[in-house]
Amino acid sequence: MTTTKTDSLYKKSYFSRITELKEYSPEAFKSFFAFNDKALAEGKLSVKTKELIAIAVAHITGCPYCIDLHVGNAKKNDADKEEVAEAIFVATALKAGSAAAHGVNALNAFYGEGDDELYKASYFNRLKEFGELTGDTFKAFAAFDHQALKAGKLSVKEKELIAVASAHTTGCAYCINLHTKNAKQEGASLEEISEAIFVAVALKAGSAIAHSVNALNAYDEA
């Protein structure tokens, strides 16, 4: 079994190596961070809201560097611990919800009732069948999902914008359809929804580039 010279694969200090990529791929490095800065800058959505969205997305991508960075940024922009926690639980609900939503595809496959079209909005109506199949488990999940998305320190509109970004991170077409419509009903404009989506784009890409510091460590040790 091969072991690394550095047994700890994640340390906060490793993140400082990210600037080394500027030397090895300067144009890509420059263009990514120009995009990232634009995506997280004040727009129709405040920097605080964007940082809360970033926190949620970072918990879905599972990037510890991103979590550390964006929790710090959110705190600097006056987000309190309760708001951060609520954003995290929207992400939790959406990550779990993506798995539950895709259960309708499993039902189609099990019963041989699906056609060549794997995603139809109408398939989502089958979700309620899990209430009969799993009983209290489905009810408990539905109760959690409702609790995570209801107004708290964050408004329903803010939570639905976080949900839209989270759904784009999980890639769940049913969730994108549902939460985009919910966000619109809560008064979110297409510009606000678009900004939330591009925070998700930046964070999903950012997770990949953040992990490059591990690649640099691995390359040096090979």
Is residue 221 one of the residues assigned to a domain? no
Is residue 199 one of the residues assigned to a domain? yes
The pTM of the whole model exceeds 0.75: yes
Residue 182, pLDDT above cutoff 90: yes
CA distance 46 to 27: 29
In this prediction, residue 43 carries a pLDDT of: 98
- Give me the residue label for tokens 């997305």: 57
Is residue 19 one of the residues assigned to a domain? no
For residue range 166-178, what is the model confidence (pLDDT) as tens digits? 999 999 999 999 9
Between the CA atoms of 118, 120, 121 and 127, what dihedral angle is there, to the nearest 10 degrees? Answer: -50
CA distance 128 to 35: 41
For residue range 5-21, what is the model confidence (pLDDT) as tens digits? 667 888 888 989 999 99
Cβ atoms within 10 Å, residue 85:
13
Poorest-pLDDT segment among 23-37, 38-52, 56-70, 111-125 = 111-125
CA distance 140 to 171: 24
Mean pLDDT of 137-165: 97
Is residue 2 one of the residues assigned to a domain? no
Is residue 219 one of the residues assigned to a domain? no
Q: What is the domain-level CATH number for residue 99?
A: 1.20.1290.10
Residue 51 belongs to what domain range? 24-37+44-211
Report the number of distinct structural domains present in the chain: 1
CA distance 123 to 217: 46
Q: Quickly state the pLDDT bin for 135 (edges 50, 70, 90).
A: confident
Mean pLDDT of 49-68: 97
Is residue 1 one of the residues assigned to a domain? no
Is residue 17 one of the residues assigned to a domain? no
Q: Is the dihedral of CA 182, 183, 189, 191 positive or negative?
A: negative
Mean pLDDT of 99-108: 94
CA distance 219 to 171: 31
Residue 1, pLDDT above cutoff 60: no
Mean pLDDT of 149-160: 98
Is residue 13 one of the residues assigned to a domain? no
